[in-house]
Amino acid sequence: MTKEQQEKIIEAIEADQLESALAAVSELEEGEAGSAELTTAQRTDLLILKATIYLRQEEYMAAVSILNDVVEEEPGNPVALLMLGTALAQIDQDEDARRVFRVVSRLADDPWAAEARSALAALGDDQDLRKTRLSIVCSAGLDSFALPMLPILEQQYELRLYTVASTRDVAEALEWGDVCWFEWCDDSLVKASQRLEKQAAVICRIHSDEVFTDMPRSVNWEFVDEIVFVAEHVREIFDASVNGETARHRVIHNGVQTSRYSFRDRAPGFNVGYLGHVNFKKNMPLALQIIKALVTRDDRYQLHVAGAFQDLRDRIYFDHMVSKLDLAGNVIYTGWSDDVNSWLEDKDYILSTSVFEPFGMSIAEAMAKGIKPVIHNWPGADGVYPEEVLFSTIDEAVEMIVAEKYQSALYRAFIQDHYELSKCVDEFSLVVDQLARRAAPGVQLAA
């Protein structure tokens, strides 16, 4: 469809030559659409013109049918949404019309928002500015990645965090929310997808532990509208594990609020930090071998460990090897620290020896402070952090630590550019908004 053809149809509509305009639209649909010459944008424009004609002809049901197709493809199209709300109001589906107008009214910076608010006022709606309701479903003790996001999200949405103890809690979250976010792919999602009525748009955020269990294969993925992975390599493992079609998915990394971490220019030193739970995945044996190699060069090097042992065998091994390697004066275990910023302050390096990580939050937190990262090259690490901070052997780790090169400003800038929390939340908000808009116009008409 050329601009000239579009303008002629608009002129015919404005001149109330509706049959002529409809014939021109039909000719373009039958001709150009058949030869695949219409772009997606042109196809949308053509459908909106057709719906405009039907509205002028008071063929409201036909207009609703066309506009539903448009917003299915473009959930955030304000023109189509406004027209859809108008058509619904004309056939006395006022509540559906209100839901559609509310979607547009929440587009604060969009010029169409004022028109949507006026339409809501005409319908006698006192909830024209109601925020999207975002319910968050999370098992007890697993909300540490979600909690930092909530102060930002609650500026945009009406939030409720459901720490689930039973399926009843999940049912309440689905009933209350416009969008329901399942934090982790765990038993809560499995049971909800198999037993509960889908009353909200559903997001599942997958971290990494889940993909090494049977949970993803137990979910009815038709229940889920969007999967958010925290890393591409986690998504790849998921795809290899779960055969067949699942929900739409995208990668949104974890984020760090860099303003919470005091920055200063640093230089090479002798304090190596290890921060996080101590378990088999974190690979403490490798950390001990690296500090032994460093101490062999210079006995001023120390490994400072802040974390909780999650298996007694790991603690027994740790104590045994510290003794065998004669590292009692060079390995300092301080236990868990709730004040990461303070604990990291006197550290010169952050050492990560994990065999697998989706992101490595402690790495990013340390880099935000300007601390040099020394990261084991676990699968997918090169998709999260720069190659120059990765090591594959003990010798490589040692050389990175003893090297003179130290670039505090670059470490912090990397986190700000790639993983600043506000940016990650913005990406997540786009998912929520798209699902809210997609859900709102979904109108089921009686036969």
Residue 42 and residue 54 in one domain? yes
Q: Report yes or no on 228 lying in a domain.
A: yes
d(CA 211, CA 225): 18
Q: CA of 125: how far to CAs of 102, 128, 129, 168, in Å?
A: 10, 6, 10, 31
Residue 103 and residue 155 in one domain? no
Q: Report yes or no on 299 lying in a domain.
A: yes
Confidence of residue 438 (pLDDT cuts 50, 70, 90): low
Confidence of residue 321 (pLDDT cuts 50, 70, 90): very high
Q: Is the pLDDT of residue 113 over 80?
A: no
Structure tokens at 432: 């929520």
Confidence of residue 281 (pLDDT cuts 50, 70, 90): very high
pLDDT tens track for 214-252? 999 999 999 999 999 999 999 999 988 886 666 688 899
Q: Give me the number of domains the chain comprises.
A: 3
Residue 65 and residue 85 in one domain? yes
Residue 267 and residue 250 in one domain? no
Q: Is the pLDDT of residue 315 over 90?
A: yes
Confidence of residue 104 (pLDDT cuts 50, 70, 90): confident
Confidence of residue 13 (pLDDT cuts 50, 70, 90): confident
Q: What is the pLDDT of residue 229?
A: 94
Backbone angles phi, psi at 290, to 5 degrees: -70, -45
Average pLDDT over residues 355-368: 96
Q: Report yes or no on 447 lying in a domain.
A: no
Q: Is the pLDDT of residue 331 over 90?
A: yes
Average pLDDT over residues 408-423: 95
Confidence of residue 445 (pLDDT cuts 50, 70, 90): very low
Q: Report yes or no on 362 lying in a domain.
A: yes
Q: What is the pLDDT of residue 38?
A: 65
**pLDDT: which is higher, 382 or 6:** 382
In the chain, % of residues over pLDDT 90:
57
Confidence of residue 386 (pLDDT cuts 50, 70, 90): very high
Sign of CA dihedral 74, 80, 82, 83: negative
Average pLDDT over residues 345-365: 96
Q: What is the pLDDT of residue 442?
A: 45
- pTM of structure: 0.70
Structure tokens at 161: 């965090």
For residue 57, the domain's CATH number is 1.25.40.10
pLDDT tens track for 154-163? 888 889 999 8
Residue 306 and residue 284 in one domain? yes
Residue 159 and residue 110 in one domain? no
Confidence of residue 176 (pLDDT cuts 50, 70, 90): very high
Residue 146 and residue 243 in one domain? yes
Give the count of beta carbons closer than 10 Å to the beta carbon of residue 303: 24
* DSSP letter string, 325-384: TT-TTTEEE----S-HHHHHTT-SEEEE--S--SS-HHHHHHHHTTPEEEEE--TTGGGT
Q: CA of 419: how far to CAs of 69, 99, 277, 303, in Å?
A: 36, 34, 22, 27
Q: Is the pLDDT of residue 441 over 70?
A: no
Q: What is the pLDDT of residue 205?
A: 95
Q: What is the pLDDT of residue 444?
A: 38
Domain boundary among 109, 130, 151: 130
Q: What is the pLDDT of residue 224?
A: 93
For residue 238, the domain's CATH number is 3.40.50.2000
CB 414 within 8 A of CB 367: yes
pLDDT tens track for 249-269? 889 999 999 999 999 999 999
Q: What is the pLDDT of residue 356?
A: 95
Residue 268 and residue 374 in one domain? yes
Q: Report yes or no on 275 lying in a domain.
A: yes
Q: What is the mean pLDDT of the chain?
A: 88
Confidence of residue 402 (pLDDT cuts 50, 70, 90): very high
Q: Is the pLDDT of residue 303 over 60?
A: yes
Q: CA of 446: how far to CAs of 91, 252, 443, in Å?
A: 11, 39, 10
Domain boundary among 83, 107, 130: 130
Residue 197 and residue 110 in one domain? no
Q: Report yes or no on 244 lying in a domain.
A: yes
What order do you get walking across the sheet with 390-391 strand by strand? 331-333, 302-306, 271-275, 349-352, 372-376, 390-391
Q: Is the pLDDT of residue 273 over 80?
A: yes
Close Cβ partners of 265 (under 8 Å, ≥ 6 residues apart): 370, 408, 409
Range of weakest confidence among 5-14, 359-368, 386-395: 5-14
The range of the structural domain enclosing residue 366 comes to 258-419
Q: Is the pLDDT of residue 17 over 90?
A: no
Strands (E), 21-128: none
